[in-house]
Amino acid sequence: MNLCAACPMLCEDVEFSVENERVVNLLHACDVGRASLCDPNRLLRSGVVALEPQSSTDSSARFRLVQEAASLLSSARRVLVTGITSITLESQRRASDIAECLGAAIDAGCLDTSIIAGPTIARIGEITASWEELRDRADLVVLWFCDPDSTHPRFFERFIDPPCPRGSRRVLWVGTKPPAATHRGENTFIFVSAENQIPMLQSLKAVLQQSPLEKDACCRVMLDEKSIEQLCEAFQAASCVAFVTEQASDSIGVLASERVKLVRLLSHKKSAFQVPLGAGIHAGGGNAAGAQALLTWRYGAPGAIEVADPFGSRSSPGESDAIRLISRREVDAVLLIGSPSESLSVALKHATSTLRVVHLCDAPRPTAFSPTLTIDSADSLLATSGTLLREDGTRVVLQAKFSSRHPAMELLLAELLAAINAINTLGPRTFRGTP
């Protein structure tokens, strides 16, 4: 069994072998994992396939590249450290060390940090559970405006489709359109328009609290009372409810707050918890949750850190997230570590003409933008060992399948940190003003 780190699902039951310079006998992988693991460029980078060494492979050449990167970053007025979603927790710690040494902004690019209200859990808390708890306990799964098939391949296969130990499992799809894929068991679709999400959540709370439902208000927003009754009856009949949600896109954060309040109210009456899904395959890497957790423990927030300082940092969601800092030209240098997300690649593409980008690359090089300087590290899927964090907080261990002619990302970051420290002999830099 192998761990597939192509996306935040971090499936641990994937099997494969390498024969004749290609991956064969690949089992249990989704389309995303299959495309990533079977990419011939990954085999080239991992050292499985013979290839003429690149300039950054030689230790002396790499030393020169690292020195050049350290000089570029140290001379910048304001630096952004970003990416970091595809690297291990150990490497993410090194990345934070570099950000602190440079007095840089740091952000992993998660959606929560682009919302002005910031993370929901920081405002009102959350009642959550692991994906295995959903599989083993929940006899009612409510998918609220959420389609795991499009963002989290194999989520249904691994955690919803298996038989529930408590009996049959019922799945309610709540949203604007029914799921494209069919799944085993009892599946019911309930239509709710996107603009009626918050009124529906508030109406469900009112019914559960045995408060009089304001029919006039329901009519004004065109709520279907039968849908409300259907959901409440399902809540009442279930012994354990799992409320699966995706990241809320509203800039104020009211929607995420209302979902949490409904789950909290349900939990006072029976076993109930929320399973918040992150960006999934759109996160840019398999350890996006690890990046958010590390930044939270180190700086008190999952990202949008204005200046990385272990003794007191300030997070400015919606202002200091990576996309806005780049698009507003508030930084003049970016240290991109690992594989960028789609949105980050687009932002860098439109800014690379005026922005200096140092890319520490752990995968086949992206073509969406042209970094100022690129240094290759060991491949993140095939030639890296370390610790990763699944979106539900479960810790998993990644073992390298092959050795690599490129240095491990953690080692490369340590070399870059030493080079920056040698230049910044007066101590950590501080950022003042906007360039």
CA atoms of 349 and 343, how far apart (whole Å): 10
pLDDT digit string (tens) for 178-197? 888 777 778 899 999 999 99
The residue behind tokens 């140290």 is 74
Residue 252's pLDDT is what? 72
Per the prediction, the chain carries an average pLDDT of 87
**Fold match, 55-110+284-423 / 120-277:** no
Mean pLDDT of 377-404: 92
Q: How far is CA 282 from the centre of its chain?
A: 8
Residue 174: its H or E element: strand 170-175
Residue 54's pLDDT is what? 45
Residue 367's pLDDT is what? 73
Considering the domain 120-277 in this protein, what is its CATH number?
Answer: 3.40.228.10
CA dihedral 148, 323, 344, 305 (to 10 degrees): -80
Q: What is the CB neighbour count within 10 angstroms for residue 180?
A: 8
Q: Among residues of the chain, what percentage have pLDDT more than 70?
A: 88
pLDDT digit string (tens) for 302-342? 999 999 998 989 989 889 999 999 999 999 999 999 999 88
Give 181's contacts (C-beta < 8 A, 6+ positions apart): 149, 156
What distances in angstroms separate CA 5 from CA 61, 91, 246, 380, 383, one per listed residue? 30, 15, 20, 8, 11
pTM (predicted TM-score): 0.89
Phi, psi of 122 (to 5 degrees): -75, -20
Phi, psi of 385 (to 5 degrees): -120, 145
Q: Does CATH number 3.60.40.10 belong to domain 55-110+284-423?
A: no
pLDDT confidence of 118, banded at 50, 70, 90? Answer: low
3-state SS of 244-289 is EECCCCCCCCHHHHHHHHHHHHHHCCCEEEEEECCCHHHCCCCCHH
Q: 355 with 326: CB under 8 angstroms?
A: yes
pLDDT digit string (tens) for 29-79? 999 999 998 887 776 665 544 444 444 446 888 999 999 999 999 999 999
pLDDT digit string (tens) for 230-260? 999 999 999 999 999 998 667 677 888 899 9
Phi, psi of 410 (to 5 degrees): -60, -40
Tokens found for residue 370: 């042209």
Residue 336's pLDDT is what? 97
What distances in angstroms separate CA 173 from CA 24, 146, 177, 182, 384, one per listed residue? 37, 8, 9, 12, 38
Is residue 16 scored above 90 in pLDDT?
no
Rg (CA), the chain: 23
| HSE, side-chain direction, 13 A CA sphere, residue 199 | 19
3-state secondary structure (DSSP) of residue 415: helix
Q: Where are the domains of the chain?
A: 55-110+284-423, 120-277
Q: 82 with 333: CB under 8 angstroms?
A: no
Is residue 415 scored above 80 in pLDDT?
yes
| DSSP assignment string, 86-97 | SS-HHHHHHHHH
